Structure 1
Amino acid sequence: MKKLINDPKNVVDESVAGFGLAHPDIVTVSADPLFVARAQGASQGKVGIVSGGGSGHEPLHAGFVGFGMLSAAVPGPVFTSPTPDPIVAATLASDGGAGVLHIVKNYTGDVLNFETAADLADAEGVRVVSVIVDDDVAVKDSLYTAGRRGVAGTVVVEKVAGAAAERGDDLDAVAAIATRANANTRSMGVALTSGTVPHAGEPSFVLPEDEIEIGIGIHGEPGRERIKLEPADGIVDRLLAPILEDLPFASGDKVLLFVNGMGGTPLVEQYIVYRHAAEVLAEKGIEVARSLVGSFVTSLEMQGVSLTVTRLDDELTELWDAPVETAALRWGR
């Protein structure tokens, strides 16, 4: 294992500390309990939004803390949910008097610990509503979940919910927007290689040089099938077909097309993937109205990508376009 780390036990603490030092105009870091919040504090009179989960998926979630998106993010150990205590602290720090929305990826540990934290925050007088993200069409159940996994579609949900909170929607309305975004979002990924969890010191799984895993999870969970490596266009077809069938998407739809790198995939390859995905959608009469390409929900240094397609309506488009200023997403300000 070759990594730019010191002690594997301190990877998350040192990384989050560095993140805070790099972006002091956007975030502040609480070291104990560990969470990242907006540098300006809670937005008074507006809904706070908190998300989080295991580390190793950067820039998710801390990279999306800031104006127009999250109020706070709670990083757990690598690929492991944060405990309730820092989630409670982040929730209380994000309360501007209008309640707090929890956006939770559908992994058993995340769901249980955010539920516990919501109950504890409620006991402190803060109303919390939770929205579960489950956009992955690859498998219904996995090593970490009951039901579909939450993957790159989390970025879409956090962005539109953050914009709704910024414009002054109440808690129930922000939750409804987040729920609608999730309901209209589907994702699927592929792995060419595994990532290596620092404290484990070895790859999470092994893929022969000539094989890839279709439908991989962001923690390295098994997908739908292992196949021989094939050209990029064929891989895109394998990812996109089940996405389009699942909602289903139809001719005349306007969509956001999001190609997400898994941590070890260069942009030159991500744009090859985007090119063919856009061509397929155009052939089906589906208009790519918005796009995003880059590594936003990673799996350490895994080589691979995921495709996310969100069916847009006028309001979701407006919220996606709304100004945002975070470490990982910035436009419109």
Structure 2
Amino acid sequence: MKKLINAPETVLSESLDGFAAAHADIVTLGAERKFVRRKTLKPGKVGLVSGGGAGHEPLHAGFVGLGMLDAACPGQIFTSPTPDQIAAAMNAVDTGAGCLLIVKNYEGDVMNFEMAAEMAEGKVLSVVVDDDVAVERSTYSTGRRGVAGTLVVEKLVGAAAEESRTIDELQALAKAVNSRTRSMGVALSSCTVPAAGTPTFTLADDEMELGVGIHGEPGRRRVKLETADAIAAELVGSIIRDLEPRRSHGCLLVVNGFGGTPSIELYLMVNAATRMLREHGIEVARFLTGNYVTSLEMAGCSITVTELDDEFIRLWDAPVHTGALHWGRV
């Protein structure tokens, strides 16, 4: 195992210290590094809190800031944050309007966020993101997994929260975004958790895992490596069959790298996916390309499609200023 670390047990704490230093104008660390918090809170605004195991950076800490999350709770690598972490984050960002929890559909995350909600001092609502079309059950989840669609939910709901919408309105919006978002991924290699020191799974040089999860969970099937066009056709086709979008509306296309895929390959997949969507009568109105919801150094990518309308486009285009996403005048 070759990694830029000092010791497996200090990877998360040292990374969080570096992240907070690099983005000190945007975020601050909570006590005992339990959470990353937006540096300047907006009074009367609903607090948006998310989190999950480390190893998926920039999700979630990289999405803390104006126009997205107010706090993110990082667990150890591929391990859910604890209820006390989440409760501390909620108490830190609740300015009187309550907190909305955005939770990926993994059993540990769902359980710990539910426990934290019971510990909170103010009003708490939640939404569970389950955008992965690959499998209904996996090693980590009951029902569909929450993957890169989580980013889309956090961005659109984050923009709406800046407009001082109520917690009930934001929960309804989050559920609507989730219902109109689907994802599916493919892995070309495994990843290595520092504490384990060995790859999570093994793929032959001519194999790929179709429908892989962001922790390296198995997907639909292990198959021989195919061309980018063939992979895009499989992923987009599965998404469209499940989403059944209205052909008259455009979509958001997110091509997300898992940490070990270079930009030249991700943009090649953008080209392929865009052509596949057009073959289904769907135009891409907005794009996002890069490593945003990763699995350490795994090679591969996921494709996420969100069916857009005028409101979703406006919320996507709204200003955002976080460690990982920033556009518009702030």
Query: Do both share a fold (TM > 0.5)?
Result: yes
Following the alignment from structure 1 to structure 2, what is the Cα–Cα distance between the partners of residues 323 and 89? Answer: 27
**CA distance 1:33–1:5, change in 2 (3 Å):** closer
Cross-structure match for 1:312: 308
Q: Pick from 214, 218, 236: which aligns with 2:214?
A: 218
Deviation at 1:31, TM superposition (A): 4.3
> Do 1:60 and 1:297's aligned partners in 2 also have CA atoms closer than 8 Å?
yes
> Do 2:232 and 2:276's aligned partners in 1 also have CA atoms closer than 8 Å?
no
Following the alignment from structure 2 to structure 1, what is the Cα–Cα distance between the partners of residues 134 and 271? Answer: 22
Deviation at 1:33, TM superposition (A): 5.0
Deviation at 1:249, TM superposition (A): 2.3
Following the alignment from structure 1 to structure 2, what is the Cα–Cα distance between the partners of residues 181 and 88? Answer: 25
Aligned residues: 329
Hey, which bits of structure 1, 4+ residues long, moved more than 2 A? none
Deviation string, structure 1 residues 4-41 (Cα, Å, up to 9, x no partner): 0011011111111110011000000124151100111x
> Do 1:33 and 1:89's aligned partners in 2 also have CA atoms closer than 8 Å?
no
Deviation at 1:106, TM superposition (A): 0.2
Cross-structure match for 1:128: 124
Aligned to 2:35, the other structure's residue is in SS state strand
Deviation string, structure 1 residues 105-154 (Cα, Å, up to 9, x no partner): 00000000000000100xx2x10100000000000000100000000000
Following the alignment from structure 2 to structure 1, what is the Cα–Cα distance between the partners of residues 279 and 145? Answer: 29
> Do 2:28 and 2:39's aligned partners in 1 also have CA atoms closer than 8 Å?
yes
The residue identity in structure 2 corresponding to 1:321 is: D
Deviation at 1:43, TM superposition (A): 1.6
Deviation at 1:283, TM superposition (A): 2.2
> Do 1:258 and 1:292's aligned partners in 2 also have CA atoms closer than 8 Å?
yes
Structure 2: which 5+ runs fail to align? none
Deviation string, structure 1 residues 168-208 (Cα, Å, up to 9, x no partner): 10100011111111000000000000010010000000001
Cross-structure match for 1:174: 170
Aligned to 2:90, the other structure's residue is in SS state helix
Deviation at 1:250, TM superposition (A): 3.9
Cross-structure match for 2:101: 102
Cross-structure match for 2:231: 235
Following the alignment from structure 1 to structure 2, what is the Cα–Cα distance between the partners of residues 265 and 88? Answer: 35
Cross-structure match for 2:9: 9
Cross-structure match for 1:253: 249
* Structural mapping, 1:44-55, within 5 Å: 44-55=43-54
> Do 1:64 and 1:328's aligned partners in 2 also have CA atoms closer than 8 Å?
yes
* Structural mapping, 1:1-333, within 5 Å: 1-32=1-32, 34-40=34-40, 42-121=41-120, 124=121, 126-333=122-329
Please report the RMSD computed on the Cα atoms of aligned residues, expressed in angstroms: 0.8
Following the alignment from structure 2 to structure 1, what is the Cα–Cα distance between the partners of residues 169 and 309? Answer: 16
Deviation string, structure 1 residues 31-81 (Cα, Å, up to 9, x no partner): 4151100111x3211111000000000000000000000000000000000
The residue identity in structure 1 corresponding to 2:281 is: G
Following the alignment from structure 2 to structure 1, what is the Cα–Cα distance between the partners of residues 35 and 261? Answer: 28
Structure 1: which 5+ runs fail to align? none
The residue identity in structure 2 corresponding to 1:160 is: L
> Do 1:43 and 1:94's aligned partners in 2 also have CA atoms closer than 8 Å?
no
> Do 1:34 and 1:75's aligned partners in 2 also have CA atoms closer than 8 Å?
yes
Q: Share of identical aligned residues, percent? A: 61
Once the two structures are overlaid, the 10-residue window that deviates more, 148-157 or 245-254, is 245-254
> Do 2:236 and 2:277's aligned partners in 1 also have CA atoms closer than 8 Å?
no
